[in-house]
Amino acid sequence: MQRNNQTSRGRHSTPLSDLDPALTEISRKVIGCAIETHKELGPGYPLEIYRKALLYELKHEEVSFEENKEYEVEFDGEVIGSVFADLYAGDRFLVKIMAESYEVGGKERNELRATLRAADLELGLIINFGQRRLKDGLVRVLNPDALRSDDDQSEYEDEEDAEYAEAAEE
């Protein structure tokens, strides 16, 4: 992974150090809970098992969350529907939970990014418990609309963050 704030595809990424420290602290707690869940269970269980175990860990670590949080989608000032987030954690970011044997792809990233836009939040996290190593199933997704300042209109790309991977290895 490149450390110069560019992904291997040449797009800009945002390091955790550029995000609100309180937000990154909550995301680290959620990741810690996911790590404990995966250590205990390993891959192979149905999604519902991981969801319940993760919720147990979040409660144990006193991380606030809401399940199946609904967000309205607007188009041209009109509400045209709604989307749901698996978890709204710490009153700051969204979590998508998966239990698939394949790597997280563009579809899942785009879905979470769209939900982030509807929620007007900066950060989302995909946790795929179906991977043999959890670090391979952790993907940070950023909402470029919430991160972009008037002076910086560059396109942000989500990435598996090195800090997340390092935490998952411990």
Mean pLDDT score, 54-80: 96
- Whether residue 148 has pLDDT greater than 90: no
Tens-digit pLDDT profile for residues 89-131: 988 899 999 999 999 999 999 999 999 999 999 999 999 999 9
pTM: 0.78
| Closest by CA position to 34, among listed 161, 130, 141, 157 | 130
Poorest-pLDDT segment among 48-62, 68-82, 147-161: 147-161
The one-letter amino acid code at 33 reads: C
Mean pLDDT score, 44-60: 97
Question: Residue 104, Cβ neighbours under 10 Å: how many?
Answer: 23
- Whether residue 159 has pLDDT greater than 50: no
Task: Extract the tokens encoding 166.
Answer: 């390092």
Determine the topology of domain 16-169 in CATH: Lambda Exonuclease; Chain A (3.90.320)
Position 13 confidence tier, pLDDT thresholds 50, 70, 90? low
Q: What per-residue confidence (pLDDT) applies to 55?
A: 98
CA distances from 116 to 46, 71, 96, 134 (A): 25, 9, 11, 23
23 vs 41, residue with greater confidence? 41
Sign of CA dihedral 16, 118, 104, 10: negative
- Whether residue 65 has pLDDT greater than 60: yes
At residue 71, the 3 state secondary structure works out as strand
Tens-digit pLDDT profile for residues 25-38: 889 999 999 999 99
